[in-house]
Amino acid sequence: MENLISLVNKIQRACTALGDHGEASALPTLWDSLPAIAVVGGQSSGKSSVLESIVGKDFLPRGSGIVTRRPLVLQLHKLEEGSREYAEFLHIPRKRFTDFAAVRKEIQDETDRETGRTKQISSVPIHLSIYSPNVVNLTLIDLPGLTKVAVEGQPDSIVQDIENMVRSYIEKPNCIILAISPANQDLATSDAIKISRERTFGVLTKIDLMDKGTDAADILEGKSYRLKFPWIGVVNRSQADINKNVDMIAARRREREYFSTTPEYKHLAQRMGSEHLAKMLSKHLETVIKSRIPGIQSLISKTVLELENELSRLGKPIAADAGGKLYTIMEICRLFDQIYKEHLDGVRPGGDKIYYVFDNQLPAALKRLQFDKQLSMENIRKLITEADGYQPHLIAPEQGYRRLIESSVVTIRGPAEAAVDAVHALLKELVHKAISETPELKQYPALRAEVGNAAIESLERMRDTSKKATLQLVDMECSYLTVDFFRKLPQDVDKGGNPTHSIFDRYNDSYLRRIGTTVLSYVNMVCASLRNSIPKSIVYCQVREAKRSLLDHFFTELGKLEQKRLSNLLNEDPAVMERRSALAKRLELYRSAQSEIDAVAWSK
């Protein structure tokens, strides 16, 4: 059982070291899930004396006004009989205090380091561990004393600030409340009791200072003011005893004697006094911790997963040296490039739209070409006669054929160019998609912009190359005709015309229509051929190159950059950097707690 309190002590120390004080924040808190005993009381209620009596040492600052201005997490560890007592602070690791007057001074000094030499308060706790054979294993959180008025040097809001801090602890479901109230005051006006009655142990102090003829028996028996747990009476050292440095062990002995010899409290003596209070609190805390461990384990496992996922989304922190920065940039670019290729290869959606250009848009554009304009009777007659010049053709108007074919085939440049542009637009669209799907690029806006610009510039160079190669395919069809097509045509004497007729008679409508039909048939054959070769050219010059060398030029330029420019590329939102750091610390806390709990579980 003692392991359980030690376990919570370790986790509480880790919480404080890593910035988890249970305050409202955007980070998950482990502190709030840990069972703890919060000591609550008004000023001059005897709160400090109760704590010192439990510990058996003078170690708390004393004075007028608000002395406790930060929560004090007091962790007591029982040692074997004969062992030497000592204390340790979390903020001064590996330093042991054997002089408890020095402990008091360090509490004061550490309070001032956080709040300054003012009367302000702070919610950041001080962790003090005391090791002694005269204590039980127990953890208490000493909170600032509740007050009704601000003293000189304090803001008017101090009264409400302290109450808010106290409430922030005691309103948590895992908090056990130790309410300290003096017996010589009306309990109905007790600040500690008013603030909460659930999950509360009531401690009645100054019983020995009550007016003659009055006693607190009804309260201690739970008759006049009932709490969740039984009341416990304590008799602290008087101010005179404190001034005379009366030994704490002697004070405990005198306390036992008081309850066992005072007639009003004799029958309650077995459950009165600071020693009984410490044992009962320790036992209750152990029971609560044991019941909460499964829930804490579940919470830790769930939160570790959530923290890991968010850290993964935020990305890794930036390397400090130039080589590390360059490596980070290259790795991010490689991830982007891989995602881009997956879009083209069909692993991710988007690449299928390129095939749609080849299978639908290009054929449709070729069909829409109006060859009938080029092959109208009027245009055929015009081009044939112009091609003959002053001397009519003898057998077939070859030059006329060539001009008709060229004027028709050249119109295919439009659909070819449009296909290049359509694929270019799709490749650009995939760049934007791949960038948005690369989490690491979201982390660095400057690098995201540079990679996007470099990829688009590279695609534009590929588009220009592709356009040149694709239009050359069309120009090739214009510059050299497929002779076999014409050789396979049926030979007709009439095609050559009758030499006895005039040149104008030879260009009759029937003859010209036959020429138009032949040219159209040839142009359709060219269209069918280009419908297959244009996609090949586009894929070779654009799609293939985009997969092979999209960021090659960017990588070349990257190697020439100075460290400052590399750093600029990896600039990220300061809020993201801060969040990552906070999450990493919180994840470290949860993993540490997880291993501590697992160690205790295995040892059982």
Q: How far apart are CA 241 and CA 42, in angstroms?
A: 22
383 pLDDT exceeds 80? no
256 pLDDT exceeds 70? yes
Which of 7-11, 80-84, 466-470, 481-485 tops mean pLDDT? 466-470
Average pLDDT in the chain: 82
Mean pLDDT computed over 510-518: 82
Residue 149 DSSP label: S
Q: How far apart are CA 604 and CA 145, in angstroms?
A: 39
Strand 86-89, strand 138-142: pairing: unpaired
pLDDT the model gives residue 7: 75
361 pLDDT exceeds 70? yes
Tokens in use for 114?
A: 């956080």
Length of the chain equals 604
Poorest-pLDDT segment among 404-413, 453-462, 585-594? 585-594
pLDDT the model gives residue 186: 67
Report how far Cα 504 is from the mean position of its chain's Cα atoms: 86
Burial class, 522, CB count within 10 angstroms (exposed 0-12 / middle 13-18 / buried 19+): buried
Report how far Cα 482 is from the mean position of its chain's Cα atoms: 66
Q: Higher pLDDT residue, 241 or 584? A: 584
pLDDT the model gives residue 503: 47
Portion of the chain with pLDDT greater than 90, in percent: 24
Report residue 487's pLDDT band, with 50, 70 and 90 as the boundaries.
Answer: confident
Burial class, 431, CB count within 10 angstroms (exposed 0-12 / middle 13-18 / buried 19+): buried
Poorest-pLDDT segment among 32-46, 65-79, 229-243, 375-389? 375-389
Poorest-pLDDT segment among 175-179, 259-263, 493-497, 543-547? 493-497
DSSP conformation letters of 261-305: H-TTTGGGGGG-SHHHHHHHHHHHHHHHHHHHHHHHHHHHHHHHH
Q: How far apart are CA 577 and CA 571, in angstroms?
A: 10
394 pLDDT exceeds 60? no
Burial class, 293, CB count within 10 angstroms (exposed 0-12 / middle 13-18 / buried 19+): middle
pLDDT the model gives residue 500: 45
pLDDT tens-digit map of 32-83: 777 888 888 887 778 888 888 888 888 888 766 567 788 898 888 888 888 8
Q: Higher pLDDT residue, 364 or 369? A: 364
Poorest-pLDDT segment among 248-252, 347-351, 404-408, 561-565? 561-565
Mean pLDDT computed over 463-486: 91
Q: How far apart are CA 139 and CA 187, in angstroms?
A: 26
pLDDT the model gives residue 200: 82
Residue 543 DSSP label: I
pLDDT tens-digit map of 266-301: 899 899 998 898 888 888 888 888 888 888 888 888
507 pLDDT exceeds 90? no
Q: How far apart are CA 203 and CA 364, in angstroms?
A: 92
